[in-house]
Amino acid sequence: MSTRPAAQLAGYGIRFARPAESGAVAALLARAFADDPVMAWMIPAADRERRLARYFRLAQR
């Protein structure tokens, strides 16, 4: 078994997001969680992705 982190094995690096990337990160997370059953229960479908993006922008602060 390798002792190298999985991220290195896959050829990906991990870093903190830059402040200028916060909108893109929020949009990515909103898309990722838009179909999550808990989010579907909490937030109406009509504007779920928009509201999730806002939540994830605020959560990054």
Contact between residue 32 and residue 52 where contact means Cβ atoms under 8 Å apart:
no
**Can you tell me the distance from the alpha carbon of 25 to that of 15, in angstroms, rounded to the nearest whole number?**
13
User: Model confidence over 14-36: pLDDT tens digits?
Assistant: 889 999 999 999 999 999 999 99
Query: Tell me, what's the pLDDT at 12?
Result: 78
| Band (2; pLDDT cuts 50, 70, 90) | low
The model scores a pTM over 0.85:
no
Query: Tell me, what's the pLDDT at 61?
Result: 84
Say whether pLDDT at 7 is over 60.
no
Contact between residue 19 and residue 12 where contact means Cβ atoms under 8 Å apart:
no
Q: What is the dihedral of CA 24, 49, 34, 29, to 10 degrees?
A: 20
**Can you tell me the distance from the alpha carbon of 34 to that of 22, in angstroms, rounded to the nearest whole number?**
18
